[in-house]
Structure 1
């Protein structure tokens, strides 16, 4: 372990021994002959005492010397010790969130028992909900996105520099051929489209990079938009000088938080290159300026870029907060298998608000009135490659409404699988100022819940489960009321 952690563990042990003996710092100072300020620095992990000082503390506190210097903590402090011994604080770039590692250490040192209880609680929750290290890392990146309104100007500027350096016309539809040429000529890549097909187990992979020879293995099942995005990500890694990275798309596993964060950076760069900010802003302004929603114009905007609907919706989460000051929004991606009644939330992002659609990992039934669920049902029945709809979702329990856009497509890599991409914008004064078609009578308003188990909508024809969570809550309120009445009757 690093020296700082060794100091902290010794300080934690000393503080615990002192408090177990009901000694104040003043009392320990008087007992040991060591100054109060010196002892305080030891307990806070700032200093590690010399052997003669440890010997004095060992004698006065009646604790064996070996036990004092051992890095082993008792069960009350063991979780903190495990945290400090692990690499977790090094793997997460705390500075991204404005946190200094020394601040965390100070918190641990000043309230070790309470911090330990908190850590134990987090660990227990993680275990009960099967919360893996991967989930923790992905949640950290998502929080980082949300903290920055999912807009990163340094990456936007890097795209502009790249386009200038390699003479990419951001006003025109980008092609994979343009990017392939740069990868090969400038960065020495070799493209292989035959190898991945030989391995059935790799059916879900779209690309694998062999870094030693810069050989990019592609499956020939990808379409033009997917190929363009893969090339754009590879260019991002090279142009941004990223070394700590993932080599498969989609990723199989990752070893460090930096790999996850850099994967996000590369994806952001790729999205900004394929869907330039200026063009998208202009198109959205045209859509929003109309008094009625122009479906054809919105779909035209999607189709004008060499990108999938998912990439387009993801890009909206960058541009709407920055260019239109529409900061209260959510993004959802669902997957669905034909002949199944299961709808799985695979990706989500919530900006500025803890929006009502939060409910993943609860094993409950998502509201079948959501347009994102409806789109999956529509694409399943349709012969179209892309289904789109728009609705106003009214969450009566929260008193909030959202303007919701949703698209559904077939999964190109899994037969009989579908996906829907959804973005919801909170209806408020800001949205009313920016979007002129909110009163369009053609836009259906739908009362919705989050999950059936928590929904109070009466006589819902598409309900898949009773509102057991609400029933339990109502039962508890009734019990509390009766107990309160009994206290009033018999308390005087």
Structure 2
């Protein structure tokens, strides 16, 4: 956060740097004129130090200025955009320190070309508004970038979880985990747990939990599955163990008050997955899995059952260890929701090395109905409607080949219902297929797996004979019309008659 005192230091430092530049003085030249050291002047210009009165007078004299001009918060026209930025909330909303960027560096860049950078920032804000990008969505975008920077593996959180499990061993029987976690919350953190339903808290039925800090009480929706309940309790332990008081109070972030809330929610959730799925236990299973010559849906479901957690928790934990221990960083994680209306929504995505396909390309487009992440949801819905679903997750795998760019991926998906809502969800891990990956994960070449041509969305798909298309290829047609016009203009400029 940028405090008022920090703003004063930053503005003062930018003034000094600007005046020094206008006079053509180096830091060493100004040091000779003022008797101040070059390193101290550098600290002043970066907004880290604010000089005493006599030193301000010395700077004013050396820079052909006055004491009042330097200490005033009034700036010349060139620095006005910088001050506007400081007085806005943008710097507080941008977690620059998370990426190793000091606010002073950001402001230095802006001071060198304030009008251009201010226009650029305003353009980004305008784009966000046009696409209904909320503050929460912005924070989650920043978080995904942070996760990708670290390949979604955080050793410090892993170590915290290991230390916790040394003091509080995970029960062998999954049915004992709820009481184990409630006991830890009660006895170690003096946090009480209370379950609610439609009769006690009807307004909270869409949420999984609510924390009341004034009472140190966690309210938990009684409609959750056992696995969801255990995760909710484990995340609450994470908040307390990591001493995170700045945190969302609801299970779903209704309104993010700061990026710290989003970051701490992620860290507590990561910690929860670590203690419920210890890395030592899962690593052994993954080492066996990556050596298999053939893919097995049942093997994956068996690993999930052994972990006794939700599919999303399990596959996110798998991404942690595949990147952290197997250096399989070129992967993506997706969660699709199938709403009661039948609509498909890409609710969560994480791309560890680059932006893979598919991704959140545009609003109101229809994701390809051929992709396993969607076909598995249709299969689950049909089983539910026919009364044949036994309540257990289903797993499917597929090689998909995108018709637009010839990239091929291996994707495996697990689908299940998502209480307390009536939605179903699929969670998916995908890898772009390369010769190196085929050597490291032999099961990707399993000849029994289907390889299916797919599009990203129906609106962008060139597959003409698709029988499950949900919308015409409007975006593709527009792109082709534009390309044809550009080709015609190029031919005319070359003196050729267009065909």
TM-score using structure 2 length? 0.84
Q: Which moved more, 1:47-56 or 1:274-283?
A: 47-56
Deviation, structure 1 residue 167: 3.1
Q: Cα gap change, 1:131/1:79 in structure 2, threshold over 3 Å: closer, same or farther?
A: farther
Residue by residue over 1:15-49, the C-alpha shift from the partner in whole angstroms, topping out at 9 and shown as x without a partner, is: 99x9xxxx96459xxxxxxx89x9x9999879899
Aligned partners of 2:22 and 2:166: how far apart in 1? 66
In structure 1, the residue matched to 2:87 is: 85
1:332 paired to 2:334: yes
Among 414, 417, 420, which residue is 1:410 paired with? 417
- 2:467 maps to which residue? 461
Match of 1:31 in 2: none
Instruction: Name the SS for the 2:264 alignment partner.
Output: helix
Range moving further from structure 2, 6-15 or 146-155: 6-15
Please tell me the root mean square deviation across aligned C-alpha atoms, in Å: 3.4
CA distance in 1, matches of 2:493, 2:247: 63
Give the whole-Å Cα distance in 2 for the aligned partners of 1:24 and 1:302.
Answer: 65
Distance in structure 1 (CA, Å) of the matches to 2:61 and 2:127: 41
- Measured after TM superposition, the shift of residue 165 of structure 1 is 1.3
Query: How many Å apart are 1:229 and its aligned residue?
Result: 0.7
User: For residues 474 and 83 of structure 2, what CA distance do their matches in structure 1 show?
Assistant: 41
Change in Cα spacing, 1:11 to 1:297, as seen in structure 2 (3 Å) is closer
Instruction: Please point out which of 392, 395, 399 is paired with 1:388.
Output: 395
Residue 73 of structure 1 deviates from its aligned partner by 8.0
Identify the match of residue 471 of structure 1 among 459, 473, 477: 477
1:336–1:418 contact (8 Å) kept in structure 2: yes
Measure, in 1, the Cα distance between the counterparts of 2:463 and 2:336: 23
Is the 2:417–2:424 Cα contact (8 Å) retained in structure 1? yes
CA-CA distance at 1:312 after TM superposition = 0.8
SS in structure 1 at match of 2:443: coil
Q: Pick closer, same or farther for the CA change 1:197–1:82 going to 2, 3 Å.
A: farther
Alpha-carbon offset, residue 78 of structure 1: 6.1
Q: How do residues 310-321 of structure 1 correspond to structure 2 at under 5 angstroms?
A: 310-321=312-323
**1:308 maps to what in 2?**
310
Mapped to 1, the partners of 2:369 and 2:229 lie a distance apart of 34
Using a 3 Å threshold, how does the CA distance of structure 1 residues 44 and 272 change in structure 2: closer, same or farther? Answer: closer
* 1-structure distance, mates of 2:484, 2:184: 69
Is 1:157 the counterpart of 2:159? The answer is yes
Secondary structure of the structure 2 residue equivalent to 1:373? helix
Quote the residue 2:188 is aligned against.
186
Distance in structure 2 (CA, Å) of the matches to 1:378 and 1:387:
9
Q: Give the structure 2 partner of residue 254 of structure 1.
A: 256
Please tell me whether the aligned partners of residues 10 and 104 of structure 2 are also in contact (alpha carbons under 8 angstroms). Answer: no
Please point out which of 406, 428, 434 is paired with 1:422.
428
Query: What is the CA distance between 1:121 and its match in structure 2?
Result: 1.3
Change (3 A) 1:59 1:99: closer
Per-residue CA shift, 1:279-316, capped at 9, x if unaligned?
A: 22222232332222122111100111121111111112
Specify the alignment match of 1:372 in structure 2.
Answer: 373
| Gap change, CA 1:381 and 1:82, over 3 Å in 2 | farther
Q: Which moved more, 1:441-450 or 1:49-58?
A: 49-58
Provide the rounded CA distance (Å) in 1 between the counterparts of 2:472 and 2:247. Answer: 46
Q: Partner of 1:32 in structure 2? A: none
